[in-house]
Structure formats: structure tokens, C-alpha cells
A = this chain, B = another copy of it.
Amino acid sequence: MNDAATESLANSLTTGDRRALARAITLVESTRPVDRQQADALLERVMPKTGGARRLGLSGSPGAGKSTFIEALGSHLLDRDRKLAVLAVDPSSKISGGSILGDKTRMESLSRHPRAFIRPSPAGTSLGGVARRTREALLLCEAAGFDTIIVETVGVGQSETAVSAMTDMFLLLLAPAGGDELQGIKRGIVELADMILVNKADGDMATEATHAANEYRAALRLLRPATANWTVPVSTCSSIEGTGISDVWENIEKFFRVLGDENAIALRRAAQAIDWMWTEVDAMLGAALRADPDIAAKIPDLESQVRSGDLPATVAARTLVSGFIRK
């Protein structure tokens, strides 16, 4: 792809062409150096068009019903003429995407809607790599005019911190059961939440859902909120019956109103971008070190000595780094 092609792709993308968006995301996901160069050029070009979306992170326990929740919330806001993009950040999670992945039961109506865009997680890379590419996909979605972006993660791994670091607000979706059944959630995830939703508050489960919400509300009182000046709301909803969904959206709007008024979102995004830059620097330097064949050959032996306690970690690290920098 040459400069003209990049410009043409950028133009199609910023007019909201969905196929151009899909191609652009494929480009940033590519690991080929030539593609990477084009991806950088494309991103630079579209940067002025980014920043216009509400960036929402969503995580949940397995079985909490994330896909049906996204469908319900998505329908609600598509009815309000918003444009929704859904991205996934877990290397293990193949979300959604009805037609994309052939799983017709998941997000079927969203995936067919002209103002919705669903993109599964890029395959076969490390979490760090996936998170870096998902940040870029998010920028591309903004450049394409999507005003609401949900970054989904499965809620059992390390990816929630990464999602929290690229979004404005973090939603946690739980199944209506307390105690043991909730222990599938990693502890740190509850800590990140700006909003907690107990889903499946319908039929036989309605009472249990209310009870679980009360338990979480009590537990949260003992913890400092993830976001200053924001008290984490805990509520119930039913994605199937559609109850509580408009309250969810109202709470999201309230969050952006409260934090937007004091410019907190802009400051958070600026800090996130700087952190991201240095994370990229670390990742690129580390990758360059590991890609050096002389250095890479030393790693297994050094790791084995460090693991067994025979060699101090600092000394092993210095051996690798000084070998790399001297070249």
C-alpha cells in the first residue's frame, strides 16, 4: 500500500465506510513490518478525527450474559440514533459477531444493524499485543464516526487492567448469585468497576439478583471508588426482558456528565496515552532484545539459573541488556 492508498483508506474510513474500517483494523493487527508502517501512517492521518466516543469497558463472570447484555444495551442506544462499535480484547475470547464467527445466537441483531460494528479479538497474539492493537482499533472506530465503543473482556484474566487503561468507564456484569458462584471473578476486577450490574434479574432469579446487588453494595462501601467523585452504582437488570437497561444508560450518561464537567475524562485520556506510549517503548525494546539471536540464545540458561535461585535477577538482567546495548 502506498501513500495514495493510505490516503484513500483514511478518506473512506472517516466517511464511515464499514468495509474501510474493517480493512484498517486488519492493517493495524498485522505483524508484517510493511503493514505496520502503513498502519502508523494511517493512524497519524486520522488522529484529528478521534476522541469523540464514549469508551466503555465491559467485563463479567462467565455465564453473566455479556453478549445478550450488549445486545440489549446496544439496541437501546441504537434506538437513540447512536453508533456503536464492540471490540474484544481477550486473546482467548472470540466474542460475538453473529455472522462473523458463525455463532448466530450471539449479538445477532446488533451484527446486522447498519449503525453497529462488531469486531472479535485478533487471534494468536499475546495479551499485551492484543491490547495494543485494540487501542488502535478503538481510535479507528472513532475516526469512522462511532460515538459509543464497548471493549469487551471475559473477566477471568489479566486483560481487565488493559481494558480499564484504554476506556473512560468500566462496567462489571455479574450473574445473580452470591458467594461461591461469584468467586470465578478475579478479585482485582471488582476494584476496577465504575458500575456493577447484576444481570438476569428476571423470573425465578429476580429475588436472588436483588439480594446479590445488596451484598455487592455493602461490600463496595468498604472500598474506595475506582474513579474520584464517583460513587459506584450497583443495580439489577434483565437483558432478556429489557428491564433496567435504560437505567444503565442513564447512569453512563451521568458518569460522563459528572466527569466531563470537571474535565476529568480529558485528563484521564491524556494520562492513558502517555502510559500507552511508554508501554509501547518497553514492548518494542523488549522485542528488539529478544529478536537478537545472540541475546535470545542466552535466555533459557539465565532464566533457569534465576528460577533456581543460583543467579540474582539483577545480574541476569544486566547480562542480557549490556550484551544487547553494546552491539
Residues on A lying within 8 angstroms of B by beta carbon are 40, 43-44, 47-48, 50-51, 132, 135-136, 139, 178-179, 182-188, 190-191, 215-216, 218-219, 221-226, 269-270, 273-274, 276-278, 280-282, 284-286, 288-289, 302-303, 306-318, 320-321, 324-325
B280–A313 CB distance below 8 A: yes
Smallest CB gap from A212: residue in B:
B222
Please, which residues of chain B bring their CB within 8 A of the CB of A311? Answer: 44, 47
How far is the CB of A228 from the nearest CB of chain B, in Å?
A: 11
Contact of A40 among B139, B274, B315 (CB under 8 A): B315
Bound-state Cα–Cα, A40 to B223, Å: 41
Please, which residues of chain B bring their CB within 8 A of the CB of A269? Answer: 309
How far is the CB of A272 from the nearest CB of chain B, in Å?
A: 9
B188–A284 CB distance below 8 A: no
How far is the CB of A295 from the nearest CB of chain B, in Å?
A: 10
Q: Given that A224-B184, A274-B303, A277-B302 are known contacts, is A132 also in contact with B312, CB under 8 Å in the complex?
A: no
Please, which residues of chain B bring their CB within 8 A of the CB of A284? Answer: 317-318, 321
Bound-state Cα–Cα, A318 to B136, Å: 14
A-B contact pairs, 10 of them (CB 8 A): A44-B315, A47-B311, A136-B312, A178-B221, A179-B222, A184-B224, A187-B226, A270-B308, A270-B309, A282-B286
Bound-state Cα–Cα, A281 to B281, Å: 13
Q: Given that A215-B222, A280-B313 are known contacts, is A288 also in contact with B325, CB under 8 Å in the complex?
A: yes
Please, which residues of chain B bring their CB within 8 A of the CB of A226? Answer: 187
Q: Given that A50-B309, A185-B224, A314-B132 are known contacts, is A286 also in contact with B277, CB under 8 Å in the complex?
A: no
B221–A218 CB distance below 8 A: no
How far is the CB of A309 from the nearest CB of chain B, in Å?
A: 5
Output the residue of A179, A269, A315 with the most chain B CB within 10 A. A315
How far is the CB of A217 from the nearest CB of chain B, in Å?
A: 11
Please, which residues of chain B bring their CB within 8 A of the CB of A187? Answer: 191, 223-226
Bound-state Cα–Cα, A43 to B318, Å: 13
A51–B309 CB distance below 8 A: yes
Contact of A274 among B185, B306, B324 (CB under 8 A): B306
Please, which residues of chain B bring their CB within 8 A of the CB of A50? Answer: 309
A47–B316 CB distance below 8 A: no
